[in-house]
Chain A
Amino acid sequence: MIEILDLTKRYGKFTALDSLNLNIEKGSVFGFVGQNGAGKSTTFSILATLLAPTSGSAYVNGYDVQKEPKLVRKQIGYMPDFFGVYDQLKADEYLHFYGASYGIPFAEREKLIPQLLDLVNLSHKRESYVDLLSRGMKQRLCLARCLIHDPEVLILDEPASGLDPRARVEMREILKELKCMGKTILISSHILPELAEMCDTIGIIDQGKLVAKGSVADIQAQLRGERLISVKVHSELEKAVSFFEDDPNVFKLTLLEDNVTFQFTYKGTPEEQTELLKRAILNNIAITSFAEAETDLEDVFMEITKGVELT
């Protein structure tokens, strides 16, 4: 559905996108993760025909964004990270305007708009002026606007940014519904755990390059040949710590605040991990729990992007 081949975008000496390659299947939800300035919005802008690449190609539903931009625009619904609204328009007039911009006849828009407002839970705000809506409502209205011409692909740049937790949950529910409708969704977000929940595939972009792609589990396996192990003992904590520290595959051992649990990074194979546990029990270490600690997407992201703080 979306194919990106060696896409490069340079602004003078600065390379925003560096030979990006990406393939997104029809009907899938792809999460784009990266720091500010990593190249997410540049990629989205090129796909939305708002920016010409320096080199490379991008295709949406088989249409070349450079050669057939008008056909690409019919295929996509684009929601930018920052967008404005027209102060003096009511919610339904706002949707009428964009519907007319896509050439949808008035009678058809009259049927479509109530359905879209219902989808984004804004039926009660149909007659309200857009500038009087809350930020969350504006985001949802913008999403309804993206859907007015029934595009196959949705390009959503940070759709949940700046929303309160309740609005985020509402947005997530709507996106899940759109996924069920079979839309191909390309979404970027800083709310990484939410992406993990919604997306079939995730791509991590750093300095214009795609550094990882796959499901959350795939990415963890792909990029971290190590596991975080959490061990809990009921007595003789020092003896346990000393035992595990002696193992050559154990790194970064840290004690937790409860004084009975410690965690370490284990770089050995699963077989070696089994052996380690066996030896610990044979050495009378009073283990009550030995488990791999769950690492979330945010940890993976921080690891890959070398700990640069998320904004």
Chain B
Amino acid sequence: MKNLVVNPVLNKEFKLRFRSFKSYLGVLFYLLALGLIIVGFIFIESLSNNMQGFFKPDQSRTMFMVLSILQLGLILFITPGLTAGVISSERERQTLNIMLTTTQSSSSIILSKLFSSISYLILLIAASLPLYSFVFLFGGISPGQLLTTMGFYLFTILVYGSLGVLFSTLIRKTIVSMVTTYGVTLFLAGGTAFLTLIFMQLTNAYGYTGTQPTNPLAYFPAMLNPVIILMSTFEPEMTNEITRSTGIEFPLWISYLISYTLIFIGAVLLSIKKLRPNMKKG
């Protein structure tokens, strides 16, 4: 653990990232955009209440949900960009070989690269917390719900970040690695939702025999979809609907945790294995 905390790669990456003025501009524009959305939402919702200027707790809850989904969208959009070039860009910049001839272990390099690249995203989320606290002014959301959402973000960032690092290790060109990571992210965030809908529709269309039809197929893409999981924490009815449709009562979020943990472990282990050539004699 000490090695990771005082890790030279982590130290260097922090220096490089936070020395650049662009990083601060990024935080500024992110908070401005989020602030505008919050103020705009409150303004529009207040106007829609027959010009009475009230902002009710259930509207506050809706705002929190909209913000959370938006933030998740931003996370899924930014994470591949931050992580899919961490190793390949070192290779393209011709600094990777030198780093690999040092005595640092592959695991130390990969983990510190992953943590340093997602640290910026964590900074963005942490910086957005005061804006989120707006919802407490109007009620409708418990602090526990806010913490759960933040925990969900951290976990999701870590997993998608590990995928970015994996492709960056396996693929030589950063641009190809980026496209691949975005492709996989799009599949996991959008493709799985589409598959869930298709399977649920198929169940309804072919199973209309008077009893409630079930098709477990819809469960598997649903458990991989971060948007469905996040939504299901706000709207338990959504989870119930998937349970009714699939006939699987095992909680969706636990399946998400398990499958994404396996993806994370697999991606990190494969990255560590593939970073250096296999020198073992046959």
**Interface bits A55-80 vs B (CB < 8 Å: 1, else 0):** 00000000001110110011010101
Chain A residues closer than 8 Å to B101, beta-carbon distance: 48-50, 73, 76, 78
| CA distance in complex: A145, B278 (Å) | 26
| B15, B95, B98, B100 interface centre (most CB from chain A within 10 Å) | B98
Which chain B positions have C-beta within 8 A of A145?
Answer: 98
Asked if residues B98 and A78 are in contact (CB atoms below 8 Å), the reply is yes
Is residue A82 within 8 Å, beta carbon to beta carbon, of the partner chain? yes
Q: Using a Cβ–Cβ cut-off of 8 Å, how many residues does chain B contribute to the interface with A?
A: 26
Interface string of B94-129 (1 = CB under 8 A from A): 110111111110000000000000000000000000
A-B pairs with lowest CB-CB distance, top 9: A100-B8, A101-B102, A84-B94, A84-B93, A78-B101, A66-B279, A52-B277, A84-B95, A97-B12
Q: Is the CB of B95 within 8 A of A83?
A: yes
A89 within 8 A of B: yes
* A110–chain B nearest beta-carbon distance, Å: 15
Contact B94 A83, beta carbon cutoff 8 Å: yes
Task: List A contacts of B281 (CB < 8 A).
Answer: 66-67
CB distance from B56 to the nearest CB of A (A): 49
Closest to B91 in A: A84
Given A80-B94, A88-B16; 13 other pairs, CB 8 A cutoff: A49-B101, A50-B276, A65-B279, A86-B12, A86-B16, A87-B16, A93-B15, A98-B102, A100-B6, A100-B8, A100-B11, A101-B102, A149-B103
Say how far A44's CB is from chain B's closest CB, in angstroms.
Answer: 10
CA distance A84 to B94 in the complex (A): 5
For the complex, would chain A's binding face be called helix, strand, loop or mixed by DSSP majority? Answer: loop
**Could you tell me how many residues of chain A have their Cβ less than 8 Å away from some Cβ of chain B?**
34
Given A51-B277, A66-B281, A101 and B99 touching (CB < 8 A)?
A: yes
- Kindly report which residue of chain A lies nearest to residue B281, judged by CB atoms: A66
Docked complex: A134-190 residues within 8 A CB-CB of B: 142, 145, 149
Q: Which residues of B contact A49 (CB under 8 A)?
A: 100-101, 276-277, 279
**A residues bordering B, Cβ < 8 Å?**
45, 48-52, 65-67, 69-70, 73-74, 76, 78, 80, 82-89, 93, 97-98, 100-103, 142, 145, 149
Chain B contacts of A89 at CB under 8 A?
12, 15-16
B20 part of interface (Cβ distance < 8 Å)? yes
**B9 to A, closest residue via Cβ:** A101
Contact between chains at A101 and B15 (CB < 8 Å): no
The answer to whether B103 and A103 have CB atoms under 8 Å apart is yes
Expressed in whole angstroms, the minimum distance between the Cβ of B13 and any Cβ of chain A is 10
A80 and B279 contacting across the interface, CB-CB below 8 Å: no
A43 → chain B closest CB, angstroms: 15
Contact A102–B102 (Cβ < 8 Å): yes
Contacts of A66 in B (CB 8 A): 279-281
Secondary structure type dominating chain B contacts: loop
B103 adjacent to A50 (CB under 8 Å): no
Partner of A80, one of B98, B104, B277: B98
Report the minimum CB–CB distance from A40 to chain B (whole Å).
15
Q: Which B1-48 residues have C-beta < 8 A from chain A?
A: 6, 8-9, 11-12, 15-16, 19-20
Contacts of A52 in B (CB 8 A): 277-279
Distance (whole angstroms) from the CB of B67 to the closest CB of chain A: 33
**A82 and B101 alpha carbons, distance in the complex (Å):** 15
Pick 26 A–B contacts, CB within 8 A, sort by A: A45-B97, A50-B97, A50-B277, A52-B279, A66-B281, A73-B101, A73-B102, A74-B103, A80-B94, A80-B98, A82-B94, A83-B94, A83-B97, A85-B95, A86-B12, A87-B16, A88-B15, A88-B19, A88-B20, A93-B15, A97-B12, A100-B6, A101-B102, A102-B102, A103-B103, A145-B98
What chain B residues lie within 8 Å of A97 (beta carbons)? 8, 11-12
Among the interface residues B16, B102, B276, which one has the most CB atoms of the partner chain A within 10 A? B102
In the assembled complex, the Cα of A103 lies from the Cα of B95 at a distance in Å of 19
Q: Which residues does chain A contribute within 8 Å of B95, judged by CB atoms?
A: 83-86
- Contact residues in B for A51 (Cβ distance below 8 Å): 277
Report how far A145 CA is from B281 CA in the complex, Å.
Answer: 30
Check if B98 sits within 8 Å of A83, measured CB to CB: yes
- Cα separation A49 to B19 with both chains bound (whole Å): 33
A28-B65 Cα distance, complex, nearest whole Å: 70
* A66 nearest in chain B by CB position: B279
Using Cβ atoms and an 8 Å threshold, which residues of chain A touch B99?
A: 101
Residue of A with least CB distance to B20: A88
Q: A103 to chain B: which residues have CB within 8 Å?
A: 103
Contacts A65-B279, A66-B281, A86-B16 given; indicate if A80 touches B97 (C-beta within 8 A): yes
